[in-house]
């Protein structure tokens, strides 16, 4: 095994990571220098698409709606993982079947956990 080649690859990764970090800090620094920082009452006012606010912004929402949405996203993305598996089903063999079975077991475990915690109840 050629350790110099591996070290060279690691140095390239470190160099690109440092360049990426530098770009972020340079652009944030330029933004800080160029943009005005005066806080006016207009910037602190509540904005609701041009409408006059009907009440304050400290309204508490039920967190279960967010949990329900996160569960939807998780299971929606799960379906997207099945398309490549179905296309390459013949080429994967038994390894592909076992991998998808484990994936489905993990998702089923998450679904059962969410169900027992009451996350999937829409009306409270």
Backbone torsion region of residue 50, taken as left when φ is above 0, otherwise alpha when ψ lies between -120 and 50, otherwise beta: left
CATH of 3-117, one of 1.20.58, 1.10.3470, 2.30.29, 1.10.1220: 1.20.58
CA angle centred on 121, ends 118 and 124, rounded to 5°: 100
Residue with tokens 């109840």: 121
Token representation of residue 105: 């077991």
Using the predicted structure, report yes or no on whether residue 78 has a pLDDT greater than 90.
no
State the average pLDDT for the chain: 83
Per-residue confidence at 37, pLDDT binned at 50, 70, 90?
A: confident
Token representation of residue 107: 């998702």
Mean pLDDT of the region 45-55? 69
pLDDT at site 14: 94
First CA to last CA distance, the chain? 61
pTM comes to 0.48
Token representation of residue 34: 């160029």
Token representation of residue 56: 């304050």
Residue with tokens 């009452």: 41
Helix ranges (DSSP H) in 35-62: 41-44
Using the predicted structure, report yes or no on whether residue 48 has a pLDDT greater than 70.
no
Using the predicted structure, report yes or no on whether residue 29 has a pLDDT greater than 90.
yes
Per-residue confidence at 13, pLDDT binned at 50, 70, 90?
A: very high
């Amino acid at each position: 095994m050629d350790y110099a080649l591996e070290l060279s690859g690691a140095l390239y990764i470190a160099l690109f990571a440092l360049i990426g970090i530098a770009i972020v800090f340079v652009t944030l620094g330029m933004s800080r220098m160029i943009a005005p920082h005066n806080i006016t009452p207009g910037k602190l006012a509540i904005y609701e698409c041009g409408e006059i606010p009907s009440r304050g912004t400290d309204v508490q929402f039920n967190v279960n709606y967010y949990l329900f949405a996160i569960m939807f996203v998780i299971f929606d993305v799960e379906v997207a993982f099945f398309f490549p598996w179905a296309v390459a089903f013949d080429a994967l063999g038994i390894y592909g079947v076992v991998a998808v079975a484990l994936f489905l077991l993990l998702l089923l475990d998450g679904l059962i956990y969410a169900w027992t915690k009451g996350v999937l109840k829409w009306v409270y």
